[in-house]
Amino acid sequence: MTATGACAPDSAARTSADPPYPDEQLVEWGLVRSRLPQHIAIIMDGNGRWAKSQNLQRIEGHRRGVTSVRAVIEECSRLGLQQLTLYCFSSENWKRPEAEQRLLMQLLEQYLVEERSEILRQNLRFSVIGRRDGLSEAVLREIDLSTSVSAENTGMRLCLAVNYGSRGEIVDAVRSLAVDIAAGKLSPQEIDEDTLSSRLYTAGMPDPDLVIRTAGEMRLSNYLLWQISYAELWVTSRYWPEFDLNDLRQACRDYAARDRRFGGLTG
Q: Which residues are catalytic?
A: 45, 93
Q: What is the 3-state secondary structure (H, E, C) of the chain?
A: CCCCCCCCCCHHHHHCCCCCCCHHHHHHCCCCHHHCCCEEEEECCCHHHHHHHCCCCHHHHHHHHHHHHHHHHHHHHHHCCCEEEEEEEEHHHHHCCHHHHHHHHHHHHHHHHHCHHHHHHCCCEEEEECCCCCCCHHHHHHHHHHHHHCCCCCCCEEEEEEEECHHHHHHHHHHHHHHHHHCCCCCHHHCCHHHHHCCCCCCCCCCCCEEEECCCCCCCCCCCCCCCCCCEEEECCCCHHHCCHHHHHHHHHHHHCCCCCCCCCCC
